[in-house]
Amino acid sequence: MRFQQSCRMAVWLVIAPLLLGGCSILREFGPVVEVHTLDAGEAIELKRGDILTRGKLSDATTQTIRVAALDAQACAKPISADCVEALAAVTGVATDRRLAALSELWLAQAQAMKPGSEQQAAWLETIRYAYAYLFLGDHTPGERAFEDRQTQVRDWYNYAVERAATGMFEVRQQMSTQLPAQTRWNIAGWELQLDMRSARLPVPAELLPVSSLSFRGLRSLYRRDGFGAELVAVMPDEPLTSAPTRDGRPAAKRNQQPPPWSEMPAPSMTVLLHPDGDDLDSVLHTRTGRLTVHDPYVESAIMLRGQRVPLAANFTAGYGVWLARAKFNRQSLRSLLGREGGIDRPHVYLMQPYDPNRRIIVMLHGLASSPEAWVELANEILGDEALRQHYQIWQVYYPTNMPIALNHAMIRRALENTLAHFDSSGQAPASSDLVLVGHSMGGVIARLMVSSTDQSLVQLAATHSRLTPQQIKRIDPMLRFEPFPHVSRAIFIAAPHRGTTVAGGRLGRWMAGFIRFPVTVLEELAHTLVPDAAASSHESLGHIPNSVDNLDENDPFVRTAADFPISTQVRYHSIVAQANAEVALADSDDGLVPYRSAHLPGAQSEKIIISGHSVQQSAAAVLEIQRILREDIALREAHFMQP
């Protein structure tokens, strides 16, 4: 019996594989499903890796292709039109799943193509299917809020819009045509309407995709996740230098009154592309759409297909591009020495398009410096949502070789003209309650702007200069002034209000000896003092104290200005640097400015930071300024809530 059973088993073992040779179970003699352990990195990569991050299709798209009974290997090839057409025709796969996979497949095709009309068409198809998934699929964006798949599809949409928009811009550049604020044009078989009304921007000279930019020299990069392509629009260059023209005349003479201001030369923007159509079927077959441009400082979200959609934004990229290209480091040194290629008058840079409802922070840099001095502070304010909603930044770039009194007068005039240009009635919230932030010599100028004088500077000019009473009368507005009427708060950082020994020492005198004033400035001074004299009369002006002279603690101007009363309407704060913590505060300095010169009685607060003179760049100083600004916001809100 046992022998017969053994024979039967042996027969079955021989026959069964022959009868069931196609069965994987018998062929492999193993389980149908196997389990492998993944580490955290492998698990995340499996869920989130896609054509953008790893150069091959996402796991979810590959699974969709298999479920649709398509050849996964064929579909994984860079250009597989048959696979795309086949998947688009499949009806047995969930709509969301199919739309997401089609978007990634089109993206893979676009990346594999050379620039041109066919690639533009592939970008537009990527956008079409991603847009359809996000807003016309089986679920709303809110219902998929925590899904990795929605994040992937959003990223594909944003990247494809970025590429399509920059491609359209390149076509415009090649055609050398100007685009009005709203126009229609044909591209890759689509008719697209460009709408730039929300951004209030002129046509740029360059359009840079933020995804292709990397920055060094910034502690933080600030952006907002959301819908849309993040771009930087680089405006045409408007040089501010005092370089002469071909005929030898100063550049300023070509335009006697150049604008003292300019809006951000490299503003950030967010771009969306909306395929036309009222339902899924019409969107999947349309060949028309709208390309809309948005200002991320003005719009944080839009209503789209009944959904409130947050807009993507980058608040650092434009600022970083501007600073990287401006070459302020070289220009500021030329300005200090009065050499060709420097500037000869203040200029106000708006860090974003003017907003009448945001209060203005005016930043004044120090000696031999430029807007680069504020790179960390400005970036932190731009990146702080609460501060960004209440403030806009204006940076004053001025020639630091000029006498402080002259710079003060010119900066006042530049700010007055800029405010008048943007708010001629003076009724906008932006035109009141300005905040001044000044570092080093910029702090001295900021203090003058919130101070008042009597006859002291007039008497000083009569005593310590060769000017006649008639000439002193002509510069009277420079010598007598009242607090700038729009300022409510000021922050002085490492400011030598009573001068410094360094400026009057051997190094300071040596440095002052290299400083020259541009011919344009000398001519203007000569014309002011001697209106009827020849243009060359500037040679007889004698010695005019420069900025380094003024910063000497024994200089008559700085000694007199130190006692000017600060307006009682202005709350002011001091940030003082102390280079050596072991030295008593009263005897300390920051390497350039002694504590006794930076200290101001009556300040709302005084923050001592262990640092050298460039303390405005330190994280501790930035945090203190942010604290002051938030305190200012809270105080204003409490004031308006009072009955």
Predicted local confidence at residue 503, as pLDDT: 60
- Quote the longest CA-to-CA distance of the chain: 139
Q: Who's near 623: CB < 8 A, 6+ residues apart? A: none
Interhelix angle 148-175/40-48, rounded to 10 degrees, is 60
Close Cβ partners of 536 (under 8 Å, ≥ 6 residues apart): none
Name the pLDDT band for 457 (thresholds 50, 70, 90): confident
Question: Does the structure show a pLDDT above 60 at 10?
Answer: no
* Closest CA relative to residue 521, chosen from 535, 503, 534, 510: 535
Highest mean pLDDT among 186-200, 409-423, 545-559 belongs to 409-423
Q: Is the pLDDT of residue 489 over 90?
A: yes
The Cα 110–Cα 123 span in angstroms is 6
Tell me the C-alpha distance between 287 and 134, whole Å: 19
> 37, 42, 40: which is closest to 59 by C-alpha?
42
Backbone angles phi, psi at 91, to 5 degrees: -110, -10
At residue 513, the pLDDT reads: 57
88's tokens: 């688009």
The pLDDT, as a whole number, for residue 36 is: 81
The residue-averaged pLDDT of 460-471 equals 75
Strands 347-350 and 261-263: parallel
Task: List the beta bridge partners of residue 209.
Answer: 231
Between 283-297, 399-413, 468-482, the lowest mean confidence (pLDDT) is in 468-482
Residue at 401: amino acid letter: N
Dihedral (CA of 630, 631, 636, 642) sign = positive
Q: How far is CA 169 from CA 124, 179, 231, in A?
A: 15, 10, 12
pLDDT at 318 over 50: yes
Mean pLDDT of 619-628: 97
Q: Is 544 helix (H, G, I), strand (E, B) or coil?
A: coil
The more confident residue out of 543 and 254 is 543
The per-residue pLDDT for 327 is: 86
Reading the block at residue 271, the tokens are 């771009």
Report the SS3 class of residue 324: helix
Question: Could you give the CA distance from residue 64 to residue 129 in angstroms, rounded to a whole number?
Answer: 15
38-96 confidence digits (pLDDT tens) = 888 777 877 889 999 999 999 999 999 999 888 888 787 766 678 888 888 888 899 99
Share of the chain above pLDDT 70, in %: 83
Separation CA 348–CA 633 (nearest Å)? 24
List the single range of 7-11, 117-121, 576-580 with lowest mean pLDDT: 7-11
- pLDDT, one tens digit per residue, over 228-264 is 999 999 988 776 665 443 333 444 444 456 789 998 8
Q: What is the pLDDT of residue 153?
A: 97
Residue 209 structure tokens: 């995709």
391-397/347-350 β-pairing: antiparallel
CB 541 within 8 A of CB 465: no
Local structure of 363: helix, strand or coil: strand
Residue 21 has pLDDT above 60, yes or no: no
Residue at 36: amino acid letter? H
Asked if residues 132 and 283 have their Cβ atoms less than 8 Å apart, the reply is yes
Axis-axis angle for helices 81-89, 95-112 (nearest 10): 170
3-state secondary structure of 151: helix
- pLDDT at position 251 is 44
For residue 178, count other CB atoms closer than 10 A to its CB.
9
Does 525 or 535 have the greater pLDDT score? Answer: 525
Residues in contact with 540: Cβ distance below 8 Å, sequence separation at least 6, in sequence order: none
Is residue 514 scored above 60 in pLDDT? no
* The predicted structure's pLDDT at residue 574: 98
> For the segment 423-437, what is each residue's pLDDT rounded down to a tens digit?
999 999 999 999 999
What 8-state DSSP symbol labels residue 52? T
Nearest-angstrom CA–CA distance, 177 and 165: 16
- The one-letter code for the residue type at 270 is T
Question: Mean pLDDT over residues 15-20, rounded?
Answer: 54
Burial of 637 (0-12, 13-18, 19+ CB in 10 A): exposed
Domains located in the chain, CATH noted: 48-165 (no CATH), 177-237+268-313 (no CATH), 327-641 (3.40.50.1820)
**pLDDT tens by residue, 364-423:** 999 888 999 999 999 999 999 999 999 999 999 998 888 888 899 999 999 999 999 999
Q: What is the pLDDT of residue 253?
A: 43
| pLDDT greater at residue 364 or residue 458 | 364
pLDDT band for position 17 (50/70/90)?
A: low
In Å, what is the CA distance from 336 to each residue of 341, 511, 515? 11, 10, 6
How far is 174 from 148, CA to CA, in rounded Å? 39
Is the pLDDT at 272 greater than 80? The verdict is yes
Report yes or no: 157 and 126 within 8 Å, Cβ to Cβ: yes
Structure tokens at 237: 């260059």
Average model confidence (pLDDT) across the chain: 85
First to last CA, the chain: 107
CB contact at 8 A, 434 and 359: yes
User: In angstroms, rounded to a whole number, what is the distance separating the alpha carbons of residues 458 and 508?
Assistant: 27
Torsions phi, psi of 346, nearest 5?
Answer: -65, 150
Chain center to CA of 407: 27
- Nearest-angstrom CA–CA distance, 423 and 417: 10
Sign of CA dihedral 609, 611, 617, 620: negative
